[in-house]
Amino acid sequence: GTIEDTTASVTLSPRARKLAEVQTAPVERRFVAGELRLLGKVDYDETRLGSITARVAGRLDRLFVNYTGVRVQKGDHLVSLYSPELLTAQEELLQAVRGIKESDAIGIPALKEAALQSLAASRGKLLLWGLTQEQLDEIENRGTASDHLTIYAPIGGIVTEKRLVEGAYVEEGTEIYTIADLNQVIVYDTTHQLP
């Protein structure tokens, strides 16, 4: 017997191709893009959240952000906190600085060593309370203590929570603001979840 060619084919004249608006292209392997609609929940990336807390007890004399939704930059001042404890700690710092100068004048190494240890402890306490190195330098150069602390934004983003109002008293660890960096968010697929 003979083998017949059963391949179907259609031939169009140039005019018919033009009327049919048929386009041809070489066969190639490639990714196909398509649109897929799903249900999901957009949420904050928890690794991009900043919590602004009081690290020392005091009173919130001024809140520079008065409502949620405000965009802040890293380093923006957010809070002016009044704290008598802060005043005492700064006076200890300045006393340690004076102690180093006095020990240099007297020339007793043991006195200078004690003064240096006192200075390191005072600086460490203030850094733990949220002061920056620049703020410490300013206090030491100025030579006077202040009973107010400015708290700065640790990250840039949107203020998503404002928990307190001006005049509120806070303890160590009291949360004042939450800031979310929304440049990157997380989407949870809820398409197949039951209501």
Query: Which alpha helices (DSSP H) does the chain contain, by range?
Result: 14-20, 84-106, 109-128, 133-142
Per-range mean pLDDT, top range of 2-6, 22-26, 150-154: 150-154
Give the span between the Cα atoms of 91 and 125, in whole angstroms. Answer: 12
Q: What is the Cα–Cα distance from 157 to 74, expressed in whole angstroms?
A: 8
Alpha helices (H) in 143-184, listed in sequence order: none
Residue for token pair 């990336």: 45
| 57-88 residue pLDDT tens | 999 999 999 999 999 999 999 999 999 999 99
**With 60 as the cut, is the pLDDT of residue 2 above it?**
no
pLDDT at residue 109 tops 60: yes
| Percent residues over pLDDT 90 in the chain | 56
Provide the b/e sequence for 42-74 (b: ≥16 CB within 10 Å). Answer: eebeeebebebbbbbbbbbeebebeeeebebee
Q: What is the DSSP letter of 59?
A: E
* pLDDT, average across residues 3-13: 67
Torsion of CA 63, 61, 151, 79, to 10 degrees: 0
Is the pLDDT higher at 133 or at 12?
A: 133
Q: For position 184, what pLDDT does the model report?
A: 81
Nearest to 130 by CA among 155, 151, 154, 153: 151
Residue 38 has pLDDT above 80, yes or no: no
In this structure, what are the phi and psi dihedrals at residue 150, rounded to the nearest 5 degrees? -95, 130
Is pLDDT at 107 greater than 80 in this prediction?
A: no
Angle between helices 109-128 and 84-106 in degrees, nearest 10: 160
The answer, yes or no, to whether residue 179 has pLDDT greater than 90, is yes
pLDDT at 174 over 90: yes
